[in-house]
């Protein structure tokens, strides 16, 4: 199964090698300094939450991160791409263990992590000291913006944008004069809550209650009593799917008075209505969009490989891995400092445009030293000096008994 954990895939070009080499997942390649010493032309670790509170969203994100290598294998490229997946279990400690395993095995680049607190901890404890380049496809905490952008970048946008977009929806679209919030007690939850609250207050709404909560609790009735019990015009909830199931079950069991609920990307899961046994028609969602020039090609590629449509942050994960592979080939060395020097070179203007549909050609061009600019499935994928995206889109949608549908898209540009 493509989603198997802790495995190493070595994808060799059939055109040169004549065969595909699959190595055991425990084989160590490097000497523990983040610099690959094997025969691969590019090595990318995939560090995502394939279990824990974000497990429902994390495995499809990891699949998206591995997809460029699968695609290139199927196209028979003349390069060897080494991919290894590690599970963070949605916790910083396990994330650090996975990050260290990748460093010890010689991986100089990582697509990860997802949860912001995991990404921040891995960056500080592992990636920065070992000069490993990480591109997160899903970590949105505003705190990441102020971290060094040479070794930590993201194809996901900062919640400085999403929090303000949600405040605009709450106050100007939904007409809320009073709001309450429940938020996961971590960097993601706190950061997004703070931006949302400031945006609501700037627009004249009163924030009657802000309640943090811990993940994966058996009940959230007390938190709901403290928020919905204040009778706000709208409730904003920041969390992950596993906790979200409990929150929404408790809400519909004892607190459903028609209060509109606004949720961000971490709670966008089409399976939620079925898990909660409620159509959740009062729940509005926002999430980073995937409307890049290569979106249609990526969507078809993902569905053909995994048998389902891509979800939130899947396109961003594909783009992160694609950029890391291109940057490695452009630098000609499988080591972190060289990749760091070339990440913006292959993604930012100017150069010949490369996307998911001609990624194989992009590898040849990057290796030959040609100027390229990657235009991805999620968007332009242009990094600013801090490693953030220059422009992003957000999809606005609503739950219903059959899942979740996108109603409109808004664009933000720095």
Task: State in words which class domain 8-156+291-389 has.
Answer: alpha beta
DSSP string computed for 142-173? GGGGGS-TTTEEESSPPHHHHHHHHHHIIIII
Q: What are phi and psi of 331, to 5 degrees?
A: -80, -25
Rounded Cα gap, residues 240 and 218, in angstroms: 14
Query: What is the model's pLDDT at position 92?
Result: 98
More confident residue, 27 or 165: 165
Q: Give which of 27, 33, 30 is closest to 6, Cα–Cα.
A: 27
- Average pLDDT on 100-116 reads 98
Name which CATH class applies to 160-281: alpha beta
Distance CA 39, CA 241 (A): 40
Find the farthest-apart pair of alpha carbons in the chain and give their distance in angstroms, rounded. Answer: 67
What is the predicted pLDDT for the residue at 38? 60
Phi and psi angles of residue 134, each rounded to the nearest 5 degrees, phi first: -120, 135
Residues recorded for the chain: 414
Please tell me the predicted confidence (pLDDT) of residue 26: 26
- Whole-number pLDDT of residue 291: 85
Angstrom distances, CA of residue 392 to CA of 294, 353, 412: 15, 18, 5
Please tell me the predicted confidence (pLDDT) of residue 19: 26
Identify the band that residue 411 occupies on the pLDDT scale cut at 50, 70 and 90.
confident
Q: Enumerate the domain spans of the chain.
A: 8-156+291-389, 160-281
β-bridge partners, 352: 372
Quick one: pLDDT band at residue 321, thresholds 50, 70, 90?
very high
> Cα separation of 282 and 398, whole Å?
8
Mean pLDDT, residues 321-336 taken together: 98
Kindly list the distances between the CA atom of residue 376 and the CA atoms of 47, 157, 289, 344, 348, in Å, as whole numbers in the listed order: 20, 14, 12, 14, 11
Contact status, residue 409 vs residue 289, Cβ threshold 8 Å: yes
Tell me the C-alpha to C-alpha distance, in Å, between residue 235 and each of 214, 225, 263, 296, 316.
18, 12, 9, 34, 28
Identical fold for domains 8-156+291-389 and 160-281, yes or no, is yes
Q: State yes or no: cis peptide before 113, omega within 30 of 0.
A: yes
Residue 385 DSSP class: T
Res 125 pLDDT > 80: yes
Percent helix / strand / coil, the chain, rounded to 5: 40, 20, 35
Q: What does the block give as tokens for 152?
A: 């930590």
pLDDT band at 24 (very low <50, low <70, confident <90, very high): very low
Q: What is the pLDDT of residues 131-144, one digit of tens each?
A: 999 999 999 999 99
Cβ atoms of residues 99 and 86 within 8 Å: yes
Q: Is the pLDDT assigned to residue 20 strictly greater than 50? A: no
Task: Work out the angle between the directed axes of helices 314-331 and 295-306 (0-180°, nearest 10).
Answer: 100
What pLDDT sits at residue 231? 97
Nearest to 120 by CA among 108, 101, 134, 105: 134
Interval 191-234: pLDDT, tens: 999 999 999 999 999 999 999 999 999 999 999 999 999 999 99
The percentage of the chain sitting over the pLDDT mark of 90, rounded to a whole number, equals: 87
Q: Quick one: which of 184, 283, 268, 273 has its CA closest to 234?
A: 283
pLDDT higher than threshold 80 for residue 33: no
- What average pLDDT is seen over the chain? 91
Confidence (pLDDT) at 410:
86
**pTM exceeding the 0.75 threshold for the entire prediction:** yes
- Give me the pLDDT at residue 6, please: 36
């Amino acid at each position: 199964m493509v989603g198997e954990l802790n495995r190493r895939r070595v994808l060799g070009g059939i055109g040169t090698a004549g065969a595909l080499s699959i190595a055991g997942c425990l084989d160590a390649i490097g000497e523990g300094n983040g610099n690959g010493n094997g025969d691969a032309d590019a090595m990318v670790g995939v560090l995502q939450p394939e279990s824990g509170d974000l497990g429902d969203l994390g495995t499809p994100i990891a699949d998206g991160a591995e997809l460029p290598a699968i695609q290139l294998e199927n196209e028979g490229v003349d390069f060897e791409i080494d991919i290894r997946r590690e599970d963070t279990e949605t916790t910083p400690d396990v994330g650090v263990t996975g990050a260290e395993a990748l460093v010890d095995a010689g991986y100089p680049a990582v697509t990860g992590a997802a949860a912001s607190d995991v990404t921040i901890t891995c960056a500080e404890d592992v990636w920065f000291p070992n000069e490993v380049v990480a591109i997160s496809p899903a970590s949105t905490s505003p705190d990441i913006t102020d971290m060094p952008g040479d070794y930590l970048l993201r194809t996901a946008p900062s919640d400085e944008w999403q929090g303000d977009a949600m405040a605009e929806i709450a106050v100007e679209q939904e007409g809320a004069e009073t709001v309450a919030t429940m938020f996961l007690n971590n960097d993601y939850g706190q950061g997004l809550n703070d931006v949302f609250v400031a945006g609501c207050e700037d627009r004249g709404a009163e924030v009657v209650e802000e309640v943090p909560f811990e993940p994966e609790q058996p009940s959230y009735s007390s938190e709901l009593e403290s928020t919905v019990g204040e009778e706000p015009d709208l409730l904003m909830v920041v969390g992950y799917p596993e906790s979200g199931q409990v929150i929404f079950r408790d809400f519909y069991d004892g607190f459903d008075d028609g209060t509109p609920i606004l949720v961000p990307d971490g709670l966008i899961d089409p399976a939620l209505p079925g898990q909660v046994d409620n159509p959740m028609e009062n729940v509005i969602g926002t999430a980073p969009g995937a409307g890049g020039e290569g979106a249609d090609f990526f969507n078809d590629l993902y569905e053909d490989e995994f048998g389902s449509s891509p979800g939130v942050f899947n396109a961003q994960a594909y783009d992160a891995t694609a950029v890391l592979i291109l940057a490695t080939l452009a630098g000609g060395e499988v080591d972190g400092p060289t990749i760091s020097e070339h990440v913006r070179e292959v993604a930012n203007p100017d150069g010949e445009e490369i996307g998911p549909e001609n990624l194989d050609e992009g590898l040849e061009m990057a290796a030959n030293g040609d100027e390229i600019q990657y235009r991805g499935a999620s968007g332009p994928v242009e990094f600013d000096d801090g490693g953030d995206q220059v422009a992003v889109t957000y999809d606005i949608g609503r739950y219903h008994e059959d899942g979740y549908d996108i109603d409109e898209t808004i664009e933000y540009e720095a």
